[in-house]
Every structure is written in C-alpha cells, then in structure tokens.
Amino acid sequence: DSEGVDIMLGVCANGLLIYKDRLRINRFAWPKILKISYKRSNFYIKIRPGE
C-alpha cells in the first residue's frame, strides 16, 4: 500500500479483493472498476466516483 506495507490482491467473479494480514480491507466490484494498471512495483485501480 502507500505506506509500504505488504498487501495481497484477490481476483474473483465479483471483482477485486484487497487483503492486509489475511483480513479483507477493501472490495472493488467489476462494474465500478474503470482501469487496472501497474508500473514497476506499483499496482493501480481506478474506480468510478461514489454516489
């Protein structure tokens, strides 16, 4: 993450899941994801603005 702590990324039929210390900290549904990209060791997820 932005603080340098290791996180894990899970991919499933419903979307992307973010885990920290084996605890899910966030979930992004596929319809809300606009773009997925990476540059070197950084991984970016661009999502639609909230309602």
46: buried, middle or exposed (CB in 10 Å: 19+, 13-18, 0-12)? Answer: exposed
Residue 18 lies in a domain: yes
User: CATH number, domain at 39?
Assistant: 2.30.29.30
pTM of structure: 0.74
Residue 20 lies in a domain: yes
Domain of residue 42: give its range. 8-47
Alpha carbons within 13 A on the beta-carbon side of 15: 16
Residue 2 lies in a domain: no
Listed in sequence order, the residues at least 6 apart from 36 whose beta carbon sits closer than 8 Å to its beta carbon are 16, 43, 44, 45, 46
Residue 12 lies in a domain: yes
Q: How many independent structural domains does the chain possess?
A: 1
Helix, strand or coil, per DSSP, at residue 30: helix
Condensed to tens digits (0 to 9), the pLDDT of residues 1-51 reads: 667 788 899 999 999 999 999 999 999 999 999 999 999 888 899 999 876
Residue type, 9: L
Residue 19 lies in a domain: yes
